[in-house]
Amino acid sequence: MAKIYGSITELVGRTPLLEIKNYEKKHELKAKILVKLEYYNPNQSVKDRIALAMVEDAEKRGLLKPGYTIVETTSGNTGIGLAAIAATKGYPFRVYIQDQVSRERYQVIKAFGGETIKLSEEPAIAKVLEETGGDFVAAIKALKEEVLSKEKNIFFVDQTSNPANPAVHEATTGPEIWEDTDGQVDIFVANVGTGGTVSGVGKYLKEKNSDIKIVAIQPGAGSLPSEENPEPEEITGVHPFEGVPAERVPATMDLHIYDEKFEVEATEAYRAAREVAKTDGILIGTSSGAAIHAATELAKRPENEGKTIVAVLPDTGLRYLTTNLFNDEFSV
């Protein structure tokens, strides 16, 4: 008899690993690339894991009660996951969202009944963003101190400092990878946004086998705003963790867990995402393309011949249809 689920909360996790064999063959790779398809989560991203974990942790600790409003800042996917969890649990939800994210993200959050506010629309935050050149961490601090501290009956999720974020990856994502590969994993690759994925999975895998190499991805210099290029093509949700002031590194990022930092430019991420859609039939987002590009370059190294590389693909390409990711007129 078929199993009937009672809530989307029961559908989070247990996402599949896929070897992208056609892509490997095209590039004549001598290492195996396994990708963890996080778009199999109910709301099509890895952030469903932390959304559920952070909400349920807050409920257990009495920080979130009936009648409270859940509040968060996000580049999109965490907001979508939280909006869905809030809907199924009966909480109002409000999100302060980065201006440059795709229109689909706003639409999906609103579809779940969430309220969306652009960071630039909140005066206190807009001022900080202008003064710091777009510092997201500083913007969150301003939101907490100047806006949310004056409100009652809210729970601010704060994914960048919430310990339930990396903890759920240590408890679920890491074990899934270990079990599905029968422990045969040599290199683990993940993007760094909040750092929760690479920190939690990295901790679990290192405890299982200290020889596993953990590779953390950050954007290349050409994919970050600068005086010369104030509005570059960016890798949504991926942020630098090396070469930036310590206060700009999320508390959820363990700077001691990774063995190598790997920089990826947006054009490289776009190219990989477009290519794997055509070789292996998986439609993924920009950050997923970044993970595949990094895994590919690692697979080309002579010392990695015969090894197994696991890369986390955070979300679906369906969230990027109004961006340049699949825009043929945008050259990569």
Q: For residue 15, what pLDDT is reported?
A: 98
Rounded to whole angstroms, the Cα distance separating 176 from 38 reads 12
* Same domain for 205 and 311: yes
Q: Which is more confident, 257 or 147?
A: 257
Decide if 264 is inside a domain: yes
* Same domain for 182 and 144: no
Decide if 90 is inside a domain: yes
The per-residue pLDDT of the chain, averaged, comes to 94
Decide if 95 is inside a domain: yes
* Same domain for 254 and 201: yes
Print the domain residue range for 208. Answer: 8-41+172-320
Pick the last residue of a domain from 109, 129, 156. 156
Pick the last residue of a domain from 156, 190, 215. 156
Pick the last residue of a domain from 127, 156, 185. 156
* Same domain for 65 and 28: no
Q: For residue 127, what pLDDT is reported?
A: 84
Decide if 164 is inside a domain: no
Q: Which residues are catalytic?
A: 47, 287
Decide if 272 is inside a domain: yes
- Min mean pLDDT across 4-13, 67-76, 101-110 is at 101-110
Decide if 79 is inside a domain: yes
Let me know: does 76 contact 101? Beta carbons within 8 Å: yes
| Number of domains the chain contains | 2
Q: Is the per-residue pLDDT at 288 higher than 60? A: yes
Q: For residue 101, what pLDDT is reported?
A: 73
* Same domain for 313 and 181: yes
User: Which CATH number characterizes residue 68's domain?
Assistant: 3.40.50.1100
Residue range 76-95: mean pLDDT, rounded: 95
Decide if 327 is inside a domain: no
* Same domain for 33 and 139: no
Q: For residue 74, what pLDDT is reported?
A: 82
* Same domain for 86 and 12: no
* Same domain for 200 and 99: no
Q: Is the per-residue pLDDT at 171 higher than 90? A: yes
Q: For residue 70, what pLDDT is reported?
A: 98
Q: Is the per-residue pLDDT at 24 higher than 60? A: yes
Decide if 194 is inside a domain: yes
Quick: pLDDT tens for 209-257: 999 999 999 999 999 988 888 889 999 889 999 998 888 899 999 999 9
Rounded to whole angstroms, the Cα distance separating 46 from 190 reads 11
Q: What is the pTM (predicted TM-score) of this model?
A: 0.94
